[in-house]
Amino acid sequence: MDLKNLFNKGKKIVDERGGVESLKEDAQELAGIAKGKGSLSDKAKEAAAAVKDPGANEPDPPDPQERHPNRQATNDRRADADRQESKERRHP
């Protein structure tokens, strides 16, 4: 198993879902659902619906042209990963 490839795939998925901040918001939202009242099946349905949308459910929709607020940070991380991979290829 190529761990670096697995890591890069995981990183790509995180970036597609809106970055680390979005994951933190998802985790907080799921924790709130788990701690809330209701049956287990109701909680499961609510959690499944919450996971479909990345990040916390905010009343104001984000700008339709912007996938997530940390676009520049995501692009910077991708560029850093590409540079690091390039260095490793040149100097094994």
In the chain, domain spans: 3-90
Number of H helices, E strands in the chain: 4, 0
Question: Rounded to two decimals, what is the model's pTM?
Answer: 0.50
Give tens-digit pLDDT for 34-83: 998 889 988 898 888 888 877 655 444 555 555 556 667 777 888 888 88
Give tens-digit pLDDT for 4-31: 888 989 888 888 888 888 888 888 888 9
What's the rounded Cα separation, in Å, for the pair 17 and 25? Answer: 11
What's the rounded Cα separation, in Å, for the pair 46 and 27? Answer: 13
Reference 15, options 92, 87, 81; nearest CA is 81
Would you state the structure tokens that stand for residue 89, as one six-digit string? 């290829």
